[in-house]
Amino acid sequence: MAREKIKIKKIDNITARQVTFSKRRRGIFKKAEELSVLCDADIALIIFSATGKLFDFSNSRVKDILARYTTYANYEKKEEEPFLELQLENSNLAKLNSEVADKNQELRKLRGEDLQGVDLEELLQLERILEDSLSRVLETKGKRIKHEIETLQKQGDVLMEENQKLKQKMNELSQGRKPVLLLDQSDTSTIHEEGQYSSESITNGGPPLTEDDSSDTSLKLGLCLF
């Protein structure tokens, strides 16, 4: 009579589950021991029961086998990291290329290119975007022009102020000068005659010149009055 095959599923009965665990644990430990002897392999086997009890088997020290496993696992992880990083970079690159292609397509549409397959709703959306962009451009242009006008006005005010200061200095310099009388040719003979008469009067013992006469003579001679 054939032995009935047991279905691999959790045993609901706690007692039956514990009995099965003990039998299977002894059986797997026996198989591990046979494998280590037949194949000269280092084997470490750790089992925790449902109640948290620890069972282990090893044909050598468990710690040594676990240390070897940790070293090997870390080595494989280091070898896999560059490959994983390369895969991640390739994925990011593909994503960026897709985004760039989408942005270029949008830019061409905004320029009025490649509009064959665009529906009416998308065309209206593009129109609104262009109107908003145009309004912002005009607003920025107005601000720039206003700024340039204000700058030119300030420069003009500065130049006017400097010009006013220069005029004031010129007026001050012109007011500080003393007048100089220039004589015509018709007056030279009179000056010579009067000068001769004055010298003759002094030589011949004539009447001396008065203060008024000397001042008039000085004015006629064109001398500066200091």
* pLDDT tens string 97-118: 888 888 888 888 777 777 777 7
pTM reported for the whole predicted model: 0.33
Average pLDDT estimate for 20-30? 91
Q: In whole angstroms, what separates CA 63 from the centre of its chain?
A: 56
pLDDT higher for 173 or 72? 173
Largest CA distance in the chain: 187
Structural domains of the chain, ranges and CATH numbers in brackets:
10-60 (3.40.1810.10)
Catalogue the long-range contacts made by 137-145 (C-beta closer than 8 Å, 24 or more residues apart): none
Backbone angles phi, psi at 168, to 5 degrees: -65, -40
Smallest CA-to-CA distance from 59 within 82, 80, 43, 48 is with 43
pLDDT of 94 above 70: yes
pLDDT of 173 higher than 60: yes
pLDDT surpasses 60 at 201:
no
- Give the mean pLDDT of 145-153: 93
Question: Of the ranges 65-69, 129-133, 160-164, 204-208, which one carries the lowest mean pLDDT score?
Answer: 204-208
Of all residues in the chain, the percent with pLDDT exceeding 90 is 17
